[in-house]
Structures are given as structure tokens and as C-alpha cells.
Amino acid sequence: MPVLEGKELRIVGFLCNWCSYGGADTAGVGRFAQPTDLRIIKLPCTGRVNPLFVVRAFLNGADGVLVSGCHPGDCHYTAGNFYARRRLEILRELLDVMGIQQERFHYTWVSASEGQKWKQVVSDFTARIHDLGPAAAFSGCPAVPIDMDETGIKAAG
């Protein structure tokens, strides 16, 4: 795996408590070598991943964001991963508009028994982020100049 001058990048992972977090734990118990760039945030279900969590991670300097949960049809909360998949696909399309490379975002499904798969997913994603290098400072959408007056906000020009 290419390493950028021996420096870790900031990769945030939003993981389902029941499956993907268990898969990461299985990989750890199995002593599978894994990159150390990933910082995990454990959630009850990927259905609880608000797309703004991902955007907020990028705004706060993340170089990459990974979301992982139960396989579709195996969600402990019945359909949470179906809701997540729908939201995350829409988010993926909006990332370019926000000035964030789509390649810096990935979502996947890993069960608690798939420690080897977890290792592969996190290694591949980390390698991709290292190939892309550190994310540029978030520039966001171009600002629209506004004026304030006593009646509220009016667009300038």
C-alpha cells in the first residue's frame, strides 16, 4: 500500500454496530494487518447515517469517508440499510457539486463474520485515499454576495 511520506491520512468510518463493527472486531481478533488511518464511529444502524454526517466529516478535514453496514436483507432493524443505500447514492451524486471527489467516499456491506472481507475493504479504500493524496481544503459552492437591509436579505446584482 502506498504511503504518503509515512503520514497517516484522516479517514472516517461510520459502521453499523451489529455487522460491520463486528467484522472489524473479527479482523482485529484474527490479527489481520490493517491500515491505521481509519477512525471508526459506531452507529446502531447505517439507516441512522444522515448524509450530513458524511459532508460534515469532509468539512472538518477528512480525506475519505467509509460507511459500512449489514448486507441488504440482513439488517437488524429490518430495512435500515435500504434507506441508507438510497440516501448515500443521492449523496454520491451531490459530492461533485460540493467540490468533493466521489472517489473519496465509499459505502459497503460487511457482516460480523467477514473479518477477512473487512480487512480487504479497509485496505483497498485506504490505498485509494493514499493514491488521491490529502483532500484539498473544502471550498464549497461559490458564495452568492448578499446585502442585508431592514426587510431581510436581498441578493446583490
How many Cβ atoms from other residues are within 10 Å of residue 104's Cβ?
Answer: 20
pLDDT in tens, 103-147: 999 999 999 999 999 999 999 999 999 999 999 866 554 444 444
In b/e form, how buried is each residue of 11-49, taking b as 16+ CB within 10 angstroms? bbbbbbbbbbbbbbebbeeeebebbebbebeebebbbbb
Look at residue 76 in the predicted model and tell me its pLDDT.
85
Look at residue 16 in the predicted model and tell me its pLDDT.
95
Look at residue 143 in the predicted model and tell me its pLDDT.
43
May I ask the CATH class of domain 11-155? Answer: alpha beta
Domain residues of the chain, as ranges?
11-155
Mean pLDDT of 41-57: 96
Mean pLDDT of 45-55: 95
Judge whether residue 151 has pLDDT over 80: no
Indicate the pTM of the whole model.
Answer: 0.82
Look at residue 140 in the predicted model and tell me its pLDDT.
55
Look at residue 144 in the predicted model and tell me its pLDDT.
41
